[in-house]
Amino acid sequence: MCSVKIRRDIGFYVYFRRELALARSAFGATTAPVLFMFMGVSLIPLALSSDTASQSSIAPGFVWIMVLLASLMSIERIFTFDYDDGSLEQMLISPQLLVQPIFGKVAAHWVLTGLPMSLSSPMMALVLSLPAEGYLPMMLSIIIGSAYLSLVGSVCASLTVSLGRGGFLLPITLIPLYMPIIIFGSATIDFAVNSMDWSFPLAVMGFLLCLAIAICPIAVAAILRSTLLF
């Protein structure tokens, strides 16, 4: 029983480490989404008046728009490189559970994009003149929300990986699915800034993340098998 468990788990670690190694070789493409988000947030004070109240009022929604755009910049790469070099087909015909490698690739995508955005959120909050009460809710909402974006994005990326215009189709399919997490993510920050209870919208985000963890890897496995093997 122990040996079976090890064989099933190895797919996650192998693909997780592989994605991190590939990211080191393409450092510029990996850091581009995070730099894009930070630059976009940094430009907001230049476009608005010096009134901190006006900046704080639009900050929650704008931060999440930038998180969405940064996620869209990188989500296509989850399966594209593997499809181009043929390793995706090898993963599909492997006797291991397909869900494990998919989890590994999605987790690596979150570590490379969502985690840096989360860790840099206090600096962005400072640039946007957010009150100190909004720092922690902003970080927590981006941690949960970016993980959701990676999971749901992997489903749409699996649908478009074999298409030549996947980059055009991805935003069309992803934005409607991203809307709930953007709404509740913005509400979490807004509630905290206005001294309201922000635990409810954050709890809803956690519920959506749990649903994505349960559904998305299975959906990706089914989509990849049906589109690439049949």
| Cα–Cα nearest to 102, from 111, 112, 92 | 92
Q: Compute the distance between CA of residue 143 and CA of residue 125 in angstroms, rounded to an integer.
A: 15
Q: Compute the distance between CA of residue 43 and CA of residue 212 in angstroms, rounded to an integer.
A: 33
Q: Compute the distance between CA of residue 67 and CA of residue 188 in angstroms, rounded to an integer.
A: 15
What percent of the chain has pLDDT above 70? 84
Return the minimum-mean-pLDDT range out of 5-9, 26-30, 98-102, 195-199: 5-9
Token output for 81: 């490189």
- Tell me which DSSP letter residue 163 carries: S
Average pLDDT, integer, range 62-88: 82
Give the three-state DSSP class for 2.
helix
Q: H or E stretch including 146? A: helix 135-160
Q: Compute the distance between CA of residue 191 and CA of residue 199 in angstroms, rounded to an integer.
A: 9
Average pLDDT, integer, range 123-131: 84
Confidence (pLDDT) at 137: 93
Q: Compute the distance between CA of residue 160 and CA of residue 163 in angstroms, rounded to an integer.
A: 5
Give the three-state DSSP class for 131.
coil
- Band (pLDDT 50/70/90 cuts) for residue 1 is very low
Token output for 78: 């989850």
pLDDT in tens, 190-201: 999 888 999 999
- How many other CB atoms sit within 10 Å of the CB of residue 23? 18
Stated pTM of the model: 0.86
Let me know: does 186 contact 61? Beta carbons within 8 Å.
yes
